[in-house]
Amino acid sequence: MNFSMRDPVIPGTSMAYHPFLPHRAPDFAMSAVLGHQPPFFPALTLPPNGAAALSLPGALAKPIMDQLVGAAETGIPFSSLGPQAHLRPLKTLEPEEEVEDDPKVHLEAKELWDQFHKRGTEMVITKSGRRMFPPFKVRCSGLDKKAKYILLMDIIAADDCRYKFHNSRWMVAGKADPEMPKRMYIHPDSPATGEQWMSKVVTFHKLKLTNNISDKHGFTLAFPSDHPTLQGIYSFGTQTILNSMHKYQPRFHIVRANDILKLPYSTFRTYLFPETEFIAVTAYQNDKITQLKIDNNPFAKGFRDTGNGRREKRKQLTLQSMRLFEDRHKKDNTTSDESSSEQAAFNCFAQSSSPAVSTVGTSNLKDLCPSEGESDAEAESKEEPGREACDAAKISTTTSEEPCRDKGSPVAHAQRFAVEPCGRPRDSGRLDKASPDSRHSPATISSSTRGLGAEERRSPAREGVGPAKAEEPRALPGKEAFAPLTVQTDVAAHLGQGPLPGLGFAPSLAGQQFFNGHPLFLHPSQFTMGGAFSSMAAAGMGPLLATVSGASTGVSGLDSTAMASAAAAAQGLSGASAATLPFHLQQHVLASQGLAMAPFGSLFPYPYTYMAAAAAASSAAASSSVHRHPFLNLHTIRPRLRYSPYSIPMPVPDSSSLLTTALPAMAAPPGPLDGKAATLAASPASVAVDSGSELNSRSSTLSSSSVSLSPKLCGEKEVATSELQSIQRLVSGLEAKPDRSRSASP
């Protein structure tokens, strides 16, 4: 492995990298100023307009390009740099004096979400991607007006179950399918100041849901395995890949950072809104959800009952006929349509929200889905008040759930972890998916870059769902009040520990997860420079490798080589030998061995195939719960000190040592971080891991026979159905124009 200088740096262009690591390359910056060649930077060949060489997904283009422009921190507009531009010294990283912030997040259109949630929200996923409806909108407060924040959203599996819609209700239909590649959606306005964020409703309506695994995606960012909020590889794009018939929970993240590429090092404050949980479907299952969507989504106006269009008239007639039909044939039915079938359809959701309302504040995801053997009677009689009472009972008595309800629900773990720092005794079977009043406040998990000291002091958990608040849940001043759970895990502290904290992982962690284990540091020279973006990233970011993948061009070579290098580094192989491996073999090397591709915040170009392989390897290597549930790590979080001093598996020339050149700031971290680092060792890393006690089956609170009024589901009503069909045909026949005949089946 050759770490020595290979090529001269093109003045100007190299400096353009600095926005990515202003805190890491002061030495380099100074050497550049002094006319010294940065010892390891490879040649950078950028087109006259380097930025133009980049192709990024729409939502990412702006923030990324902003980063590339990089004027904010360096004062060097990237786009204005000519090939002969003079280098200017960078500011070394000065730990910013942060104004304390205490972000609070309010879910917009909560009432609408509640309506959907009550019925079991379904979100259609299509190949081309569908938006969420209701749209995910939040309002933020408590931010530092001057500080910059990046707001993100992702969608995680709510549990390990696959669902089916049977007898007008959602039921567990088995184990979940393999997890899809993780996606993260960065709000296109990111980064923006707290003031800007607080001045408006932050909407994520452009996020799309898809089941198309070959969907193009933007760049990828690898988070360290011990990152409290995100682990593994995340693709950043506008589309989130989901599995149909699986339940998901959107998450909202606030990250105080002015650079997207600092995400892996930054504090994540994560907010969960139980009412936004949904099941992904390729076609609507529950008619009530369909109707809710039609009634509320402007784009579906054409399907509304009220209207003057042909469709509306016909539908009105049809519905009228159906109502008459139902009245006639079902008046003997003792089951209430609204109260039974609807409840049955959403009960697996409702249970998740009910606890949120509960003053006890111990909801759990485990209780989200009903087991198949639930009592019909219970569900039949289950109305809102009853449900609450039932939940309350569960809160105090239930510690288990159906087997499928894994103990590692990400949300659940997050919740539990969130509670932990507050000293609240852990109830292994109780997952605080929601705060005591999560209907008004999200569950919040902050993975902070700071120690527990100051952060924890101001932790919303203390204010909200912590033990104290849990005891006085109604202290919240109404809907606008928040009682977020907060977990602060100090990532920055990693940087402040040891010669090269954050660059290695404790051996004990090796193999635990895809990104665990193997200390790995990728020298930029290990990479074959592809596009401008990747070049810059590799050259300037040390272990951070950035590129555009998916739709981008000209980076395939980088993909391959980068991964080979990563594999080589992780295995102690020479980069050259690894790089000679065919791409698919390189993938295999990485995936099959579950190697830690990127040690700490690496930005990689991952072709989907690789990601899939990685995911598969991860799934296989790690327990499913660990893999599927990012928050699980919260329970197995290791003391920050586990970051071992980085060790490169090959000789590193002094003059080009990354330790002294690439990461001087890390080698000699700012003082303030050091102090905090120490506190991390005693951070909630000690949180106990879940026990499996929650896996016990619980008594059903749902009805299995909540009589469905849907004729198509009632075999014994064939005659009646025929009659209805006749009516509908008749109605259809009224149409002068032979519009596409609708199915006669209701």
CA-based nearest residue to 656, from 567, 538, 523: 523
Beta-strand runs (E) in 559-689: 602-604
Going from the C-alpha of 666 to that of each of 74, 267, 328, 406, 497, the distances in angstroms are 19, 17, 77, 39, 8
Choice between 281 and 662, CB closer to DNA: 281
Choice between 282 and 580, CB closer to DNA: 282
Going from the C-alpha of 470 to that of each of 106, 396, 566, 635, 656, the distances in angstroms are 19, 14, 46, 21, 54
* CB of residue 300 to DNA, shortest distance in Å: 4
Hey, what are 8's tokens? 């001269």
Choice between 90 and 245, CB closer to DNA: 245
Helices (H), 373-421: 376-380, 384-397, 410-419
Q: Are strands 183-186 and 602-604 parallel, antiparallel or unpaired?
A: unpaired
Q: Three-class SS of residue 234?
A: strand
Choice between 164 and 479, CB closer to DNA: 164
* CB of residue 201 to DNA, shortest distance in Å: 14
* CB of residue 500 to DNA, shortest distance in Å: 44
Choice between 183 and 293, CB closer to DNA: 293
Going from the C-alpha of 660 to that of each of 25, 132, 500, 528, 603, the distances in angstroms are 9, 48, 10, 23, 21
Give residues in contact with DNA (CB under 7 A).
124, 126-128, 130-131, 133, 164-165, 173, 206, 208, 211-212, 244-245, 281-285, 290, 293-294, 297-303, 307, 309-311, 739-743
Are residues 247 and 163 in contact, defined by beta-carbon separation less than 8 angstroms?
Answer: yes
Q: Three-class SS of residue 247?
A: strand
Choice between 164 and 717, CB closer to DNA: 164
* CB of residue 284 to DNA, shortest distance in Å: 5
Choice between 308 and 334, CB closer to DNA: 308
Radius of gyration of the chain from Cα atoms?
A: 27
* CB of residue 169 to DNA, shortest distance in Å: 13
Choice between 309 and 507, CB closer to DNA: 309
* CB of residue 439 to DNA, shortest distance in Å: 24
Angle among Cα 725, 728, 731 to the nearest 5 degrees reads 155
Choice between 166 and 588, CB closer to DNA: 166
* CB of residue 478 to DNA, shortest distance in Å: 29
The number of beta carbons lying within 10 Å of the beta carbon of residue 653 is 13
For residue 715, report the phi and psi dihedrals to the nearest 5 degrees.
Answer: -60, -35
Are residues 579 and 569 in contact, defined by beta-carbon separation less than 8 angstroms?
Answer: no
* CB of residue 297 to DNA, shortest distance in Å: 5
* CB of residue 351 to DNA, shortest distance in Å: 21
C-alpha–C-alpha distance, residues 54 and 47, integer Å: 10
Report the residue count for the chain. Answer: 746
* CB of residue 18 to DNA, shortest distance in Å: 35
Choice between 311 and 330, CB closer to DNA: 311
Dihedral over Cα of 186, 192, 198, 203: its sign: negative
Place of tokens 């090269």: 500
